[in-house]
Amino acid sequence: MSRRVTFGGRLIDRHQTMPFVFDGERMCGHPGDTLASALLANGIRLVGRSFKYHRPRGVFAAGIEEPNALVTVGEGPRATPNLRATVVPLVPDLAARSQNRWPSLGFDLGAVADLAARFLPAGFYYKTFMWPRWAWEKIYEPLIRRAAGLGPAPAAPDPDHYEQIHVEVDVLVAGGGVAGLMAAETAARAGARVLVMEAAAHWGGRAPVEGEEIDGRPAEIWVEETLARLTASDKVTVRSRSLVAGVYDHGHVVAVETLDRPLAGGSLDGAVLRQRLWHIRARRIVNACGAIERPLVFPGNDRPGVMLASAVRDHLINWGVAPLERPVILTVNDEGYHTAELLLEAGIAVAALVDLRPKGAGALERALRARGVRVILGAGVTATHGRKGVKGVTIGRVKTGETLTRLACDGVAMAGGWSPSVHLWSHAGGKLLWDEAAQLFRPDPTRPPRGGDGAPLVIAAGAAAGDLEIGAALAGGRAAGLEAAEALGLERPDMPLPASRGRPAGTRSGDWVVPRRAKAAQKERMFVDLQNDVKLADLELAVREGYESVEHAKRYTTWGMATDQAKTSGINGLAALSLARGAPIPAIGTTTFRPPFAPVTFGAIAGLARGPLFKPLRKTAIDGWHEAAGAVWENVADWRRPFSYPRKGETREEAAAREVLAVRQKVGMLDASTLGKILVKGPDAGRFLDMLYINTMSTLPVGRCRYGVMLNEQGFVIDDGVVVRLAEDSFLCHTTTGGAGHVHGWMEEWLQTEWWDWQVFTLDQTEAFAQIAVAGPKAREVLVALGVKGADISPEGLPFMHSCAAEIAGIPGRIHRISFSGELSFELAVPADRGLELWEKLAEVGAPFGITPYGTEAMHILRAEKGYIIVGDETDGTVTPHDLGLGRMISKKKTDFIGKRGLERPFLRRADRWRLVGLEPVDGQTLLPVGAHATDHGINMFGQRRAIGRVTTSHFSPTLGRPIALGLVERGPERLGEEIDFLTTEGETIRARIVDPVFHDREGRRLHG
Amino acid sequence: MKGYGAWSLIREGLRHHLGWGRAWGSPAPRRRYEVVIVGAGGHGLATAYYLARNHGITDIAVLEKSWLGGGNTGRNTTIIRSNYLHDPSAAIYEKARQLYETLSQELDFNIMFSPRGVMMLAQTEHEKRVWQRVAHANVLQGIDTRFIGPEEVKRRVPIINIDGPRYPVLGALWQPRGGTARHDAVAWGYARALDRMGVHIIENCEVTGIRTEGGKVVGVETGKGPIDCGKLALVVAGHSSRLAEMAGFRLPMESVTLQALVSEPVKPMLDVVVMANTVHGYISQSDKGELVIGGGTDGYVNYTRRGAFQHVEETVAALVETFPVLGRLRLMRQWGGIVDVTGDRSPILSKTPVENLFVNCGWGTGGFKAIPGSGWAMAELVATGEPGALAEPFALSRFREGRFIDESVAAGVAH
């Protein structure tokens, strides 16, 4: 039984109690406890169930490596599954639940899987559930899905908040143990800007727990003093509860700081600022993340009560909890002896110390025996007894498994050696080497991950570098700090290395599993990966079946794929494969260390990019007016635009129809501010645009407009718009709303990579100007009423496709006589901050003329009636200018333009390409669905029904009083008058006539009005 | 070799599974094979399998530089669908999807094809029109898809946020028989079947050179010595351009890192595959309970298999917005694969300038779903020397002719 003891407890406040709830039962802990230490203090041994067999499990570790004690913490929308109880800080009234059990933790029906475990080895599901065929999706898989998973799925949106911060530092030190602190102080003393992050809530790593000394005093004091100096330094930023999660290329590091802090200004629903995600750009990174103790692989090594010896020490010293009251200590090195001494010091009985090494530990061993502890050498645990917690163990010989004795005990504290936390070294490509003497993988300093400058990016220090002893850790920390300083070009600081005294771990036994010659049945209870229930037998089965590469074995057995990502199972699994294959561990290799080091909350990754701030909406200067006018919206790229302005009782489509008629009969106004407006300027601007567009822009006279089409290198249309020549050396290129960013990027790509010596600058001015289209037969009258100074807007003074500067209603701007509606139209461009003013004046002076604001739907209908294309509707990246009937625009004089060569390829020249036509339903009333395909009722080479065209645009035309459509049809323009059949997804056939795409005012008289 | 099934599991269970043999062998390479296939990923193995099954050719070696299935076959997000726009794509992906339906039974290896339905969300009016167009194309192609409204989306995916505010769900293209499969198992299942047919799979055997005589391929140099062959098929995804270089020709292809990630496992919360192109993210829940999430590609050519965190951030933000209940779940693991992207983002199954040398590559971000169809079509090409209908449109010559099969409009993701 575990319990609170008077010994130790440096992190808890014994004077205060803190209530909490586990599985509905109220208990008490102390401030400073973790959920795990509080549970252990309350005598709770059974904390969870394993993933596959639902075996009972207890607290196993004391940090993020915990594979067993996973719980759901919190209620309702704050319920968070799969948290390791060992790193959940106790807070008042914390509510935790066990997982993966039904109906209760004590009585879990899922445990039938354990009874059948011998028939459910690794990968059993690849060999069965295949017959009858329908049963997989109907029966087997749904059952498997229900049985799998760990914690409950969340049911409601997360009410809490997350934020992100971007910092740039010289040196990031990951890990606040003695090596990390030493590295940080050394680098800081050299003048580097340092950020130190420690995942735990407390500092110093293992040194304070292990009773080590620095400068003749307990390490804890050195840690406190060093931390105080670092905190006081303006060069150093210090953060605890901050996990460095991943190292990415180019020195980009992601870390997560847990805050659980009330929101500034408070919140109604009690929401807190839960975490902060750090984006760190570090010139050097010191990985001082320590090491994780390894378990040992023996039969029944997963029962509650079996835990890491380091976790026993941690709980005792840090939280004043004896996780076990009468343990057997199982060790491969001297650390078991230190653990035994500590337990005795705390007044806890030790049932026996079992050392796998036949020679024992010399003086340590003698001292222990002298204190009356039974020491058994060359032996190990060969069985554990007790279903929901260890009640006793059988001790047997390592070599043969021959039983020596059976001991009553309440658990096993295992010291299996250490695995350096090399993750941050490995994320960005650092390589490892196998240290045969210490039996561990350590970073290979000759093959570090390299940064953008080609120099080593990560420096390992302390236990993370394989330096397990305190003297070496301090020296390694100092060396890392010096190396970082030197790399940054800083002068070598005067940084003395303090004297230290620790407890060497001694030589490790070469054994990994006990007994060495385990029976097949025993191997089925020798767990390597506790959370995923991967046993020695499974890894052997994998090798037997040919899944012998480390990656195959991992994927086949799921070893290392649990939420702890192999932290306690990695090396043991490699050892198991090594034994099964008869090859040394380094020949087995390792699986790849992938970020994150420990799981990272999705909410923190999303940060503030939620709700309205998820891809923030772009609004024009006139947006508020549209809103007040009752506009219904349409998202266009990142913008929102009015779809139409419905009046009372109108649908949005009815409103659009009314708006169309207003433009055709009187006058309408459209907020066209979202159109891309890119200024292209410089002596080579004309030459540059000649390369970008299929037609010639360099010959455009100043003050004139020309419609241009842009292709990609393949010859396909990617954007279009009107180009205005503002001055000899400057052009304004209008683009589509969605295309502005791409087109600007496209221009820059060409300028920077191909024509870097041309004198051209580009500037995206889209948001600098508000642009309003005034369109309709009364447009000029409205402008006259509005008052235009400095320009002649008569038909002769400003003809179609001309542009001029003017003062419009007192606002300096430009007037472009361009039209996307087919009507007399002026587009007025003014500085964005005066856009609303102009719009409101237009609405006011236009009222007597019946001016009507119109939205995107009316704009689409108006242009469709005129047969104007929209890039993205009539085009999709596979359509050429020839297909669109724009072939005549292609300059014959130009020697080159982007897409010219692509266009010359034979397939793009074929006569049977799908080309733009108008379509009219033969019955004069059925609307053709957009996207519907036409078929000639034949079969193609794939046995599919042959398609000969498709509908790209379809509207009911208010002007004509009947449905119209645009489409691309095989040989379309040659087939005017023919009727073809379109198939709908509902299985109907709609017959349509192929017609000219211009439905309205074919001569263009109104345009020039 | 022992057959699989419940009875053999029970029988073996009684003797601690000591009687299972290797799923596939580890033979030493012979001096010559009729066909050598480079690359034991899904496509390479499937090519060998259908060469043996459909064309009776079993004198085949499949060479793998590392462990089989370790490239993109073992790194993808396991989605299977055939809701493509263009006829050639629809044909080959639907062929693959149909083969997947019965692949477990055919291979006697449960590859866990799970037709749970694939949903491609429409979150703008434009995207809605795009999916409606695909639905119409699929009518003619005989592919079972339909456009569904937001209510049906919500019914099938109760955790989805269909109201926005930024990108409300306006509907979705729904393919009821799309879904997922266990990716590793596809490679392992083919490998085991090939082994039974006498085909050699040779792992840890890197090809270091390609030997030609008079414009004709005659063999390869490998880490395990030279191997002669009558025909050579390169099926190595991201490294195709490097092998093509060895054979003296170039491929119109770039290799970039594509990322994916999984959450910690939780109980069932998402029954279908959801792809959201506008916000850029796709997601399904594995049988193990993990949310499997596809990320983006790096904007630069590389072979690192790592990828920038920025793409993870974009994808996760998109999914938290689309599925707000995900907020407190956690990213457990992220990884990258090298995808081979062509000019039109469609694959290449083709003859090459070197006689008897064929390539199958360029599957980009969408190769897993195609594996059986790709193998089927490639086997026909290798066996007969000429492409069948499935492979013909994907010939290298299309780049010269401009006969693109550009699926960017319906490629599932806009990258």
pLDDT in tens, A786-802: 999 999 999 999 999 99
In 3D space, the residue among A466, A591, A240 whose CA is nearest the CA of residue B333 turns out to be: A591
* pLDDT value for A436: 92
How many angstroms separate the most distant Cα atoms in chain A? Answer: 115
Do you find a cis peptide bond into A584, omega within 30 degrees of 0? Answer: no
Please spell the DSSP secondary structure of A84-136, one letter per residue.
EGGG-B--TTEEEEE-S-SB-SSSBGGGHHHHTGGGS-TTGGGTSS-SSTTHI
Q: How many Å apart are CA A510 and CA A295, to the nearest integer?
A: 14
B80 pLDDT band (50/70/90 cuts)?
very high
In 3D space, the residue among A644, A362, A379, A704 whose CA is nearest the CA of residue A515 turns out to be: A379
B17 touches chain A (CB under 8 A): yes
Same domain, A149 and A46: yes
Inter-chain residue contact B334 with A594, CB threshold 8 Å: yes
A878 touches chain B (CB under 8 A): yes
Same domain, A56 and A135: yes
Same domain, A102 and A71: yes
Q: How many Å apart are CA A622 and CA A608, to the nearest integer?
A: 27
Q: How many Å apart are CA A663 and CA A680, to the nearest integer?
A: 32
Q: A679 in helix, strand or coil?
A: strand
Same domain, A668 and A788: yes
Task: For an interface test with B, give the residue of A53, A525, A942, A954 to mutate (most B CBs within 10 A).
Answer: A942
B1 touches chain A (CB under 8 A): no
In the predicted structure, residue A431 carries a pLDDT above the cut 60: yes
**Does a structural domain hold residue A896?**
no
A887 touches chain B (CB under 8 A): no
* pLDDT value for B1: 56
Residue of chain A nearest B131, judged by CA positions:
A931
Q: How many Å apart are CA B262 and CA B77, to the nearest integer?
A: 9
Q: How many Å apart are CA A829 and CA A655, to the nearest integer?
A: 26
Q: How many Å apart are CA A1005 and CA A422, to the nearest integer?
A: 76
* pLDDT value for B411: 41
**Does a structural domain hold residue A737?**
yes
Inter-chain residue contact A944 with B398, CB threshold 8 Å: no
Please spell the DSSP secondary structure of A484-524, one letter per residue.
HHHHTTPPPP--PPPPEE-----PPPS--BSSTT--HHHHT
Q: How many Å apart are CA A67 and CA A508, to the nearest integer?
A: 24
* pLDDT value for B409: 64
Same domain, A492 and A524: no
B89 touches chain A (CB under 8 A): no
CATH number of domain containing A210: 3.50.50.60
pLDDT tens string A259-272: 999 888 877 778 99
Q: Which amino acid is at B262?
A: V
Would you state the structure tokens that stand for residue A571, as one six-digit string?
């090396």
Query: Are the beta carbons of A97 and A105 closer than 8 angstroms?
Result: no
B414 pLDDT band (50/70/90 cuts)?
very low
Same domain, A695 and A782: no
Structural domains of chain A, count: 7
Same domain, A926 and A991: yes
In the predicted structure, residue B412 carries a pLDDT above the cut 80: no
- In the numeric block, the tokens 């302390």 are attached to A462
Out of A144, A153, A249, name the one closest to residue B304 (CB). A249
- Distance between terminal CA atoms of chain B? 44
Same domain, A640 and A775: yes
A1 pLDDT band (50/70/90 cuts)?
confident
Mean per-residue pLDDT, A914-926: 97
β-sheet bridge partners, residue B256: B339
Secondary structure E strands in A313-402: 321-322, 327-331, 352-355, 375-377, 379-385, 392-397
CA distances from A212 to A199, A313, A470, B175, B225 (A): 21, 13, 7, 64, 57
* pLDDT value for A816: 98
Q: How many Å apart are CA B53 and CA B197, to the nearest integer?
A: 9
User: What is the domain class of B24-82+84-109+183-252+344-410 according to CATH?
Assistant: alpha beta
DSSP-assigned letter for residue A138: I
Radius of gyration of chain B (CA): 21
Out of B136, B165, B327, name the one closest to residue A612 (CB). B165
Residues of B (291-330) whose Cβ lies below 8 Å from A = 304, 306, 308-309, 312-313, 316-321, 324-330
**Does a structural domain hold residue A365?**
yes
Residues of B (354-383) whose Cβ lies below 8 Å from A = none
Out of B123, B266, B313, name the one closest to residue A153 (CB). B266
Q: Which amino acid is at B301?
A: V
B413 pLDDT band (50/70/90 cuts)?
very low
Those residues with Cβ within 8 angstroms of residue A668's Cβ, 6 or more apart along the chain or in another chain: A659, A662, A774, A775, A776, A821, A851, A852, A853, A854, A858
Q: How many Å apart are CA A644 and CA A623, to the nearest integer?
A: 13
CB count in 10 Å sphere of residue A333: 25
Query: Are the beta carbons of A373 and A342 closer than 8 angstroms?
Result: no
Query: Are the beta carbons of A717 and A885 closer than 8 angstroms?
Result: no
Residues of chain B with CATH 3.50.50.60: 24-82+84-109+183-252+344-410
* pLDDT value for A156: 93
**Nearest chain B Cα distance for residue A562, angstroms:** 8
A762 pLDDT band (50/70/90 cuts)?
very high
| B118-178+255-342 fold | D-Amino Acid Oxidase; Chain A, domain 2 (3.30.9)
Backbone angles phi, psi at A996, to 5 degrees: -65, 145
* pLDDT value for A749: 96
Backbone angles phi, psi at B397, to 5 degrees: -60, -15
pLDDT tens string A611-627: 889 989 999 999 999 99
What is chain B's percent helix, strand, coil content, to nearest 5? 35, 25, 40
CA distances from A18 to A22, A41, A200, A241, A321 (A): 13, 12, 20, 20, 15
In the predicted structure, residue B381 carries a pLDDT above the cut 80: yes
ipTM of predicted complex: 0.97
Q: Which one of A107, A124, A159 terminates a domain?
A: A159
CATH number of domain containing A984: 2.40.30.110
Residue of chain A nearest B403, judged by CA positions:
A907
10 Å CB burial of residue A283 (0-12, 13-18, 19+) is buried
**Nearest chain A Cα distance for residue B213, angstroms:** 32
CA distances from B105 to A814, A964, B43, B57, B190 (A): 71, 51, 19, 22, 12
β-sheet bridge partners, residue B342: B253
> What own/partner pairs with CB < 8 Å and gap ≥ 24 does A493-496 have?
A493/A186, A493/A189, A493/A190, A493/A191, A494/A189, A495/A185, A495/A186, A495/A189
Q: Which one of A94, A128, A159 terminates a domain?
A: A159
Q: How many Å apart are CA A250 and CA A248, to the nearest integer?
A: 7
Out of A634, A715, A946, name the one closest to residue B402 (CB). A715
A505 pLDDT band (50/70/90 cuts)?
confident
pTM above 0.90, yes or no: yes
Inter-chain residue contact B330 with A82, CB threshold 8 Å: yes
Q: B119 in helix, strand or coil?
A: strand
**Does a structural domain hold residue A901?**
no
Inter-chain residue contact B67 with A549, CB threshold 8 Å: yes
What are the b/e assignments for B293-311, b being 16+ CB within 10 Å? bbbbbbeeebeebbbbbeb
Task: Classify A462 in phi/psi space as left (phi over 0), alpha (psi -120 to 50) or beta.
Answer: left
Query: Are the beta carbons of B206 and B222 closer than 8 angstroms?
Result: yes
**Does a structural domain hold residue A591?**
no
Same domain, A549 and A439: no
Residues of A (901-940) whose Cβ lies below 8 Å from B = 902, 905-908, 929-933, 935, 940
* pLDDT value for A1008: 83
**Does a structural domain hold residue A669?**
yes
CA distances from A583 to A440, A588, A787, A799 (A): 16, 7, 90, 86
In the predicted structure, residue A287 carries a pLDDT above the cut 60: yes
β-sheet bridge partners, residue A330: A354, A414
A119 touches chain B (CB under 8 A): yes
Q: How many helices (H) and strands (E) does chain B have?
A: 11, 18
What are the b/e assignments for B245-255, b being 16+ CB within 10 Å? ebbeeebebbb
A873 touches chain B (CB under 8 A): yes
Q: B365 in helix, strand or coil?
A: helix
Q: Which one of A385, A414, A443 terminates a domain?
A: A414
* pLDDT value for B410: 52
A260 touches chain B (CB under 8 A): no
Same domain, A680 and A668: no
**Nearest chain B Cα distance for residue A11, angstroms:** 28
Out of B10, B289, B343, name the one closest to residue A148 (CB). B289
Q: Which amino acid is at A863?
A: R
CATH number of domain containing A703: 3.30.70.1400
pLDDT tens string B310-341: 999 999 999 999 999 999 999 999 999 999 99
Inter-chain residue contact A520 with B18, CB threshold 8 Å: yes
Residues of chain B with CATH 3.30.9.10: 118-178+255-342
Alpha helices by DSSP H, listed for B147-256, are 150-156, 183-196, 240-247
**Nearest chain B Cα distance for residue A71, angstroms:** 12
CA distances from A473 to A127, A244, A318, A322, A461 (A): 49, 20, 21, 28, 7
Same domain, A916 and A969: yes
- Domain, as residue range, for A402: 295-414
Residues of A (552-611) whose Cβ lies below 8 Å from B = 552, 555-556, 558, 563, 565, 592, 594-596, 599-603, 605-607, 609-611
Query: Are the beta carbons of A214 and A170 closer than 8 angstroms?
Result: no
Inter-chain residue contact A148 with B137, CB threshold 8 Å: no
B238 pLDDT band (50/70/90 cuts)?
confident
In the predicted structure, residue A697 carries a pLDDT above the cut 80: yes
Secondary structure E strands in B245-366: 253-263, 273-276, 281-285, 291-297, 330-342, 348-351, 357-361
Radius of gyration of chain A (CA): 37
Q: How many Å apart are CA B288 and CA A145, to the nearest integer?
A: 7
Same domain, A11 and A108: yes
